[in-house]
């Protein structure tokens, strides 16, 4: 298990540096488990009204979080089936995130 974690961590870092970001997957995991898993699920598998986050790129996740933080519902609508009646359930969860939090969350979730 330790070895697997190390491999996942290393490949995540490679992906992050390819995008020119110094994302911290461990910090992303901690934040995800504290602030996101209750709705999106421990494995980001989604449940009911809460969208599945696996299979989305780190960039997609960080961009969507930025739109929730900034209240940009129109941009969310352009990204997919977002920014509608469930927008207000998600927006407060992004309000307190810094840019590096969003990058770290994107890096962690996209590597699940
Ligand atoms: C209270 C429940 C709840 C919590 C906690 C929550 N979310 Fe969400 N999230 C939602 C809902 C509901 C939506 C769909 C909103 C919409 O339709 O715009 C969503 C949408 C999203 C999306 C867009 C999904 C897509 O399809 O692109 C992302 C990314 C996301 N959440 C990430 C997070 C992260 C990261 C956290 C933790 C910081 C988090 N969420 C915490 C309920 C939650």
Owner of token pair 């992004």: 94
* Buried b / exposed e along 66-95 (16+ C-beta atoms within 10 A): ebbbeebbebbeeeeebbeeeeeebbebbe
Judged against a pLDDT cut of 80, whether residue 2 lies above it is answered with no
Owner of token pair 């999106």: 40
Question: Which candidate, 80, 86, 103, 94, places its Cα nearest to that of 12?
Answer: 103
Closest C-alpha residue for ligand 1 atom 36: 36
Confidence of residue 3 (pLDDT cuts 50, 70, 90): low
Q: What is the mean pLDDT of the chain?
A: 89
Which is the closest atom of ligand 1 to the Cα of 65? 29
Question: Which candidate, 110, 43, 52, 44, places its Cα nearest to that of 81?
Answer: 52
- For ligand 1, the distance from its centroid to the CA atom of residue 5, given in whole angstroms, is 25
Query: Would you call 53 exposed, middle or buried from its count of C-beta atoms within 10 A (0-12, 13-18, 19+)?
Result: buried
Pocket of ligand 1 (CB under 6 A): 35-36, 38-40, 49-51, 53, 56, 61, 64-65, 76, 80, 82-84, 86-87, 89-90, 93, 105
Judged against a pLDDT cut of 70, whether residue 8 lies above it is answered with no
pLDDT score at 95: 97
Distance CA 9, CA 111 (A): 8
pLDDT digits (tens, 9 = 90+) for 43-81: 999 999 999 999 999 999 999 999 999 999 999 999 988
Average pLDDT over residues 25-49: 97
Average pLDDT over residues 4-21: 55
pLDDT score at 92: 98
């Amino acid at each position: 298990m330790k070895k697997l974690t190390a491999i996942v961590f290393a490949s995540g870092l490679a992906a992050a540096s390819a995008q020119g970001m110094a994302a911290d997957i461990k910090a992303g995991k901690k934040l995800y488990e504290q602030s996101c898993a209750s709705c999106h699920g421990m494995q980001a598998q989604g449940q009911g009204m809460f969208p599945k986050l696996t299979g989305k790129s780190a960039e997609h996740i960080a961009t969507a979080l930025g739109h929730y933080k900034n209240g940009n519902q129109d941009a969310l609508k352009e990204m997919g089936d977002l920014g509608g009646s469930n927008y207000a359930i998600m927006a407060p969860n992004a309000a307190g995130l810094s840019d590096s939090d969003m990058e770290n969350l994107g890096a962690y979730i996209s590597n699940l």
